[in-house]
């Protein structure tokens, strides 16, 4: 069972104002994000503050929605999904973002998940 935990300030936004599509696209290209080693056989758990959950949030994989928007504070995804081409993965590294907001994005938190070597 994994024990690594990472928390982060918003990569973009996070102050309640909507991000325009230009800002959102620029943010999704951000290279200076935290990198996390992930064991594909483990579950990756995402949690957000209740204020973010109230606005709805979506997990994005390489900029595309991976799951439906949720108002729960917690979601769990099998680690193998992040390295599966069927879900849009490209190799052993995937940009994962949490997008706050159901219609308009008001915040984006991004991490790079890297496949853990055996």
| Residues of the chain above pLDDT 90, percent | 48
Number of separate domains in the chain: 1
39 vs 11, higher pLDDT: 39
Q: List strand residue ranges (DSSP E) for the chain, in order.
A: 12-13, 34-38, 43-47, 57-61, 64-65, 74-78, 93-100, 107-115
Domain range holding 64?
A: 36-115
Residue 21 in domain: no
Distance CA 86, CA 89 (A): 7
Task: Tell me the average pLDDT of the chain.
Answer: 87
Total-model pTM = 0.85
**Whether residue 24 has pLDDT greater than 60:** yes
Q: Which of 15-24, 58-67, 79-88, 107-116 has the lowest mean pLDDT?
A: 15-24
Structure tokens at 76: 């769990």
Q: Is 47 exposed, middle or buried (0-12, 13-18, 19+ CB in 10 A)?
A: middle
97 vs 32, higher pLDDT: 97
Please report which confidence band the pLDDT of residue 30 belongs to, taking 50, 70 and 90 as the band edges. low
What confidence tens digit (pLDDT) does each residue in 74-109 have? 999 999 999 998 888 888 999 999 999 988 889 899
34 vs 31, higher pLDDT: 34
Residue 66 in domain: yes
Residue 89 in domain: yes
Residue 10 in domain: no
Residue 45 in domain: yes
Residue 62 in domain: yes
CATH of the domain at 44: 2.60.40
Residue 7 in domain: no
3-state secondary structure of 82: helix
Residue 109 in domain: yes
What is the longest distance spanned by two Cα atoms in the chain? Answer: 43
């Amino acid at each position: 069972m994994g024990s690594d935990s990472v928390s982060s300030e918003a990569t973009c936004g996070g102050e309640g104002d909507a991000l325009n599509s230009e800002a959102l696209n620029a943010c999704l290209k951000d290279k200076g994000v935290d990198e996390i080693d992930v064991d594909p056989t483990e579950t990756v758990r995402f949690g957000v503050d209740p204020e973010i959950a109230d606005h709805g949030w979506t997990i994005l994989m390489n900029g595309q929605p991976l799951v439906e928007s949720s108002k729960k504070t917690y979601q769990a995804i099998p680690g193998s999904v992040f390295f599966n081409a069927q879900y849009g993965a490209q190799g052993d590294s995937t940009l994962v973002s949490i997008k706050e907001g159901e219609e308009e994005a008001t915040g984006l938190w991004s991490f790079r998940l890297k496949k853990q070597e055996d």
